[in-house]
Chains A and B, each alone.
Chain A
Amino acid sequence: MARMTMIEAIRDAQDICMERDDKVVVFGQDVGYFGGVFRCTKGLQEKYGPQRCFDTPINESGIVGAAIGMGAYGLRPCVEIQFADYMYPAYDQIVSEAARLRHRSNKDFIAPLTIRMPTGGGIFGGQTHSQSPEALFAHVSGLKTVIPSNPYDAKGMLIASIEDDDPVIYLEPKRLYNGPFDGHHEAAITPWSKHELGEVPEGHYTVPLGSAAIRRAGSDVTVLAYGTMVHVALAAAEETGVDAEVIDLRSIVPLDLETIKASVEKTGRCVIVHEATRTCGFGAELAALVAHHCFYSLEAPMVRVTGYDTPYPHAHEWDYFPGPARVGKALLHVMETE
């Protein structure tokens, strides 16, 4: 076991996959010599050479399009889009090509890609360094979309993603890169070395895609969250005293519906939390699924705590970000609702 940050865990996962399989290649903007603007690919070019880890032109469609061609050849590209906010030029390649290649060619060609993207806010990133576009991927048939919340999962899920034969959108909450963040921005930052999920096994292991994790068992209300919001929800439960069961979905497609159902059937209440904007966000899908599958167990209307339906602001970071106060209020509200 070693103590790692999320950055180190992500780097380690790529290192292990490159070591084990010559077909794994890593590329994107600034990921080569420099090791990535967040250091997630540090040292990989030095270790594996520029044939396996290299810088690309600033062209997201080119990065993903080239990766699809490589996948069709038989490689396993793990590529980086510098910020999820900049994935839009690649969207045609992701949606029209990577997601559909296996289906439209009847397995003649596949796209075993992993597309890494730092996501989420809480860093004064403003409009184009804070977005959470997961719903735009979850809506697309043929894509897997995953979002780890800690170093242990980050490594195990990234290895699982690279080894997966389907295209995986791997969203990295950048606010969690160096330490867990519960939304208390005024407090000192805790590093991952002081957190139990900063314990990361050495070598190869996987966290299966499509499996949720219960981070806090509880009996009052089920909280469905992923990424940074997992830590916010845990803080909100402690601060309100509501005995919330906090589920870290980890993967939104495929979704671990069984874990969600079992929890809501037990608690009878459900709060859904995400950073992304509300309307047609992934929370809407979660609410629809819970309503359909757990209708007779529900004792109160579900509540969504999300980013507002506005572009992500700069000066109003902490008004926008769904922090522990907003989540806590929702927990208390569903407990009071009959």
Chain B
Amino acid sequence: MIGNKVFQLHVPEPQCRPGDTPDFSGFVVPEAGAAARPPVDVDAENIHNLAYDIIRVTDDEGRAVGPWAGSLTDEEALKGLRDMMTVRSFDARMLMAQRQGKTSFYMQALGEEAVSCAFQAALSPGDMNFPTYRQQGLLVTAGYPLETMMNQIYSNSADPLLGRQLPIMYSSKEKGFFSISGNLGTQFIQAVGWAMASAIAGDSKIAAGWIGDGATAESDFHSALVFASTFRAPVILNIVNNQWAISTFQGIARGKAATFASRGLGFGIPALRVDGNDFLAVHAVAKWAAERAHLGHGATLIEHVTYRAGPHSTSDDPSGYRPKTEAADWPLGDPLERLKKHLIAQGIWSEERHAQAQAEIDSDIIATQKRAEKNGTLHDGPHPSPKDMFDDVFANPPAHLIRQRQEAGI
């Protein structure tokens, strides 16, 4: 008889917990500019290494280096910085508004601003994102009005979603931002379907799916990969690996065993891993994937390596599960600071201009917030009509809904 082992269930644990000193010594930061830039029609099998590498453009001195550099003009890079600053300032104001009881809930994208702002800058009008709740940078970069975002967060009388949706579950077809759902992963396969439709219709628009590290464990992640691969859909599949799914470290979603990007390889989908805090790198990779899709070469999987610097949501306290200073020790730094340093190194930005821009953005957002609050906040001021909850369940209300509305006295 062979000596059987007595089993013990393996449950992965993060390296550090509250009270520990953050330790990223095992996290290898590849040199900026070192990763090759393959042709956009490359086969997945020829770039396996990019699924395990981290594509970086901005070096420690703020210089843009290597074959991925140069995808943006100076003006575009300056706009990128402004977009990221806007997102961060917006998040800070809305966090405060939630603490003041003006809304029930908010989620920041602190530390992840580059991922969505840089990505959106690489898309063309008419392309469609299928975002999660942490890609507000897509809307900001696309020029969606901040006041409308606030109206949605306040569920007020000017809320475009008529008070039906939880704060931050935005929707804007016009700006290529698909309606956000609370159910994780569902939009990843819908993005693939949208891209398939574009192909069926003989269109040239592309779709972008978004998912977090934790949600890759949902079955729809797998559905999206198999459909994207089978039908060679013009879609970019983005995984935002911010290391944390609420309190669960990415190792529970098997991120420790292999990179999330590498999951694309089993489906023959070219997979790239990018420094998510490097605006220039995210933009370059997004542009590469968009060009690949536009030219009919099919899907690309991108893992954006970043860190969720803030709490998961306003209902979360990260000090209960991770070291307090972990975000500060994150080896890829802060995306705003890094782009700012790059622009200063380029000689097209300065500390003074930065401070001035920050003051302008902050005061604009405060003014916008005042305007939005005139339309009401969650518990104060004008609201959407309760009648609105009965509309749009169907294209035309059936008899039973009309009866229920009448029962409600509306």
Contact = CB atoms under 8 A, between A and B. Distances in A.
Interface of A: 25, 51-52, 56-57, 59, 61-62, 65-70, 72-75, 89, 92-93, 96-97, 100-110, 141-142, 144, 164-166, 210, 253-255, 257
Given A106-B164, A257-B399, A61 B194 contact: no
29 contacts: A25-B197, A61-B189, A61-B219, A62-B224, A65-B189, A65-B220, A66-B193, A66-B227, A68-B193, A69-B193, A69-B194, A69-B196, A72-B194, A73-B197, A74-B197, A96-B182, A97-B190, A100-B181, A101-B179, A102-B393, A103-B392, A104-B169, A106-B160, A106-B161, A106-B162, A109-B179, A164-B395, A254-B398, A255-B400
B165 interface: yes
B183 interface: yes
Nearest to B185: A92
A62 B226 CA distance: 9
A66 B233 CA distance: 11
B181 A96 contact: yes
B223 A108 contact: no
* Residue of A75, A142, A210 with highest tally of chain B CB at under 10 A: A75
B295 to A, nearest CB: 19
A144 B394 contact: yes
Contacts of B220: 61-62, 65, 92-93
B195 interface: yes
Contact of B197 (A62, A70, A104): A70
B207 A69 contact: yes
B388 to A, nearest CB: 8
Given A62-B227, A69-B197, A108 B181 contact: no
B186 interface: yes
Given A109-B178, A109-B179, A102 B197 contact: no
Nearest to B163: A106
A137 to B, nearest CB: 14
A52 B200 contact: yes
Contacts of B169: 104
A50 to B, nearest CB: 10
A96 B186 contact: yes
Contacts of A144: 394
Contacts of A92: 183, 186, 220
Contact of A102 (B181, B182, B183, B395): B395
Contacts, number: 143
Contact of B223 (A59, A70, A74, A103): A59
Nearest to A253: B398
B248 interface: no
B191 interface: yes
A210 B398 contact: yes
A75 B181 CA distance: 21
Give the size range of B's interface with the partner.
35 or more
A86 to B, nearest CB: 14
Given A105-B179, A166-B395, 6 more contacts: A51-B199, A56-B227, A65-B192, A72-B178, A165-B395, A254-B400
A110 B394 CA distance: 10
B130 interface: yes
A165 B392 CA distance: 11
A92 B184 CA distance: 10
A104 B172 CA distance: 12
Contacts of A166: 394-395
A257 B402 CA distance: 13
Contacts of A253: 398
A166 B395 CA distance: 6
Nearest to A22: B201
A253 B226 CA distance: 34
B15 interface: no
A92 B186 CA distance: 8
A104 B161 contact: yes
Contacts of B222: 59
A52 B202 CA distance: 12
Nearest to B190: A69
A161 to B, nearest CB: 13
B177 to A, nearest CB: 9
A140 to B, nearest CB: 10
Interface string B251-262: 000000000000
B393 A57 contact: no
Given A62-B223, A107-B392, A75 B201 contact: yes
